Structure 1
Amino acid sequence: MHGSIPMSLSNASLLSLIQLNYNNFSGRIPPNLGSLRHLRFLLLYGNRLEARKPLDWSFLTSLSNCSILEILDISQNNIGGFLPKSVANISTTLQWLSMGNNYIEGSIPPEIGNLVSLTILDLGSNSVSGRVPTSIGLLKNLHVLSLGYNNFSGEIPSTMGNLSQLNDLYLDFNCFSGSIPVSLGNCKSLVSLNLQHNKLTGTIPKEVFSISSLTIGLSFEENQLTGTIPPEVGSLINTQELSLSGNKLSGEIPNSLSKCQVLQ
């Protein structure tokens, strides 16, 4: 299917699901979708939908009227312009917010912490910049946080250590600086942690190497990390991938690495 999404769609007042993904829809997302008070799922990913000017983002502001919205997925489109603050005004019932693989600029507003029901937050592969707000630590139901392939800078907020249910954390290919927060060691449910290709400095916290749930992998390559590999690396007994290349690490490889028998 192709063409624009008709404005008249909002006349179907009892709609709870809009699923138009993987088509060739183009143009703006209708700004009147907020009148669909029963809307729970809005799936528009994999199209050619566009946004460039603030007015093009009116749909997001209108969605604040959808009080039971659970999933909003506009990933894999041609959506650009600056991410509006109204993203944080979407209903607190929202569980899935995916905007990855677009051309979105701007920064994450501090009010993002209002979306307390989020389990997935995906802004990967955009041009989002600035610091990740400390309020990200309020999203305690998050299972996936994907911010890779953007222009984020500053330190990784230590409040990420509050995300105890987090399974996947992707912060790769950004400009994060400073040290790796020790608090990440509190994320005991992590299966994948990717911090590669940043500007991180300092030593690798032993607390991070003690996360035995890391089964998929741990990647810190292409940073400016120093010091030795702590013996706690032996706690990664279920890890398939460990990547530390392209840093300034020194000292010996600890014997405890031999305990990581799942490494591929």
Structure 2
Amino acid sequence: WLSLEANRLPKLPPTVGTLRLLRHLMLQGNRLESLPEELGCCTQLRVLEVQHNRLAALPAALARLRSLQFFYAHGNALSDGPALFAALRQVASLKIVGLGGNLLDLS
């Protein structure tokens, strides 16, 4: 697992995609406005924690995280509910999704 929480990171480098055996990624409490598409290469990722950042959207690559079981994204600026749920539906392994404290528009 990799813990980068509370580091005021403005972005995550695309090289995160080279960590193909990574299972737990903790990014909460940074200043992330987006996540790189390369994150989708981390196909063994089971837990993704991105709470309390500045994320307005998630990359389409999220759908490639076929092992993802726990996704926590509370306290961001996520707003496009239909697109978000469409992406999450593609991840059949998901067990828990946390989206509280966002700006979700479900219309």
Q: Shorter-chain TM-score category?
A: 0.7 to 0.9
Superposed displacement of residue 205, structure 1: 1.8
Q: Which residue of 2 aligns with 1:158?
A: 14
Superposed displacement of residue 200, structure 1: 2.3
Q: Distance in 2 between matches of 1:219 and 1:183?
A: 19
Q: Distance in 2 between matches of 1:225 and 1:161?
A: 23
| 1:182 correspondence with 2:37 | yes
Give the conservation status (yes or no) of the 8 Å contact 1:168–1:193.
yes
Q: Judging changes above 3 Å, is the alpha-carbon distance between structure 1 residues 209 and 250 closer, same or farther for their aligned structure 2 residues? A: farther
| 1:218 correspondence with 2:48 | no
Q: Distance in 1 between matches of 2:43 and 2:55?
A: 22
> Which one has a bigger Cα radius of gyration?
1
Structure 2 residue matching 1:193: 3-state secondary structure: strand
Superposed displacement of residue 214, structure 1: 0.9
Superposed displacement of residue 219, structure 1: 0.9
Superposed displacement of residue 210, structure 1: 3.3
| 1:208 correspondence with 2:48 | no
Superposed displacement of residue 151, structure 1: 3.1
**Aligned partner letter, 1:246:** G
Q: Distance in 2 between matches of 1:185 and 1:230?
A: 17
Deviations 1:3-49 (A, max 9, x none): xxxxxxxxxxxxxxxxxxxxxxxxxxxxxxxxxxxxxxxxxxxxxxx
* Equivalent of residue 4 in structure 2, options 147, 151, 156: 147
Give the conservation status (yes or no) of the 8 Å contact 2:33–2:53.
no
Q: TM-score, normalised by structure 2?
A: 0.83
Q: TM-score, normalised by structure 1?
A: 0.37
Superposed displacement of residue 175, structure 1: 2.5
Q: Distance in 2 between matches of 1:233 and 1:151?
A: 27
| 1:75-154 matches, cutoff 5 A | 144-148=1-5, 150-154=6-10
Superposed displacement of residue 199, structure 1: 2.1
Structure 2 residue matching 1:185: 3-state secondary structure: helix
Structure 1 residue matching 2:45: 3-state secondary structure: coil
Could you say what the CA RMSD is over the residues aligned between the two structures, in angstroms? 1.8
Give the conservation status (yes or no) of the 8 Å contact 2:50–2:72.
yes
Give the conservation status (yes or no) of the 8 Å contact 1:156–1:176.
no
Tell me the percent identity.
30
Superposed displacement of residue 230, structure 1: 4.5
Q: Judging changes above 3 Å, is the alpha-carbon distance between structure 1 residues 232 and 177 closer, same or farther for their aligned structure 2 residues? A: closer
Give the conservation status (yes or no) of the 8 Å contact 1:211–1:235.
no
Q: Distance in 2 between matches of 1:204 and 1:249?
A: 13
Q: Judging changes above 3 Å, is the alpha-carbon distance between structure 1 residues 153 and 232 closer, same or farther for their aligned structure 2 residues? A: closer
Give the conservation status (yes or no) of the 8 Å contact 2:41–2:64.
no
| 1:248 correspondence with 2:103 | yes
Structure 2, unmatched stretches of 5+, are none
